[in-house]
Amino acid sequence: MAQGVPDWSDLDAGQRTVLAPMEEAWDGLSEEHRRRLLEMAGRWREMDPEQRQRIAQRLERWRDLSPQERERIRDHHRRLQSMTEAERQALRQRWERYRQLPPEHRRQLRERWEDLSPQQRERLRQHRQGPHGGNGGPPGGLRGHCR
């Protein structure tokens, strides 16, 4: 047991049932990640079926990600956590503006983003969002750059 956070073998039957999609990854998860998952498992009985299904799908999607994809998501989360509330609010506003664009325009922005080199993406992130970098995609500032 790692500092009060149980190893997989120490979980009770109910916890193992709820967290089954995470079994293979459990012992490699950070203590904080395990703690959050255990808190969610503790709330499982109070969730309605729709909430349970949504959580189960998220756990399965996470399990199916490659280690590189998981690290990219963790890095994104760390960047969000390091932002001020004002920076997060500005990011949410840019995301909403992006979501309101016509699908064809969003597709063009995504393609343009994917065509950029990693260095170009980073420069764009830094330009649009200051010292914390970008959010990893087109809403960070490809406005007006469609093909």
| pLDDT class of 145 with cuts at 50, 70, 90 | very low
Top-confidence range, 1-5, 36-40, 126-130: 36-40
Residue 76 falls within a domain, yes or no? no
18 shares a domain with 53: yes
Q: Which domain holds residue 23?
A: 8-64
Q: Which of 2-16, 102-116, 123-137 has the lowest mean pLDDT?
A: 123-137
Count of structural domains within the chain: 2
| pLDDT class of 100 with cuts at 50, 70, 90 | very high
103-115 vs 85-99: helix crossing angle, rounded to 10: 120
pTM: 0.55
| Higher-pLDDT residue of 129, 53 | 53
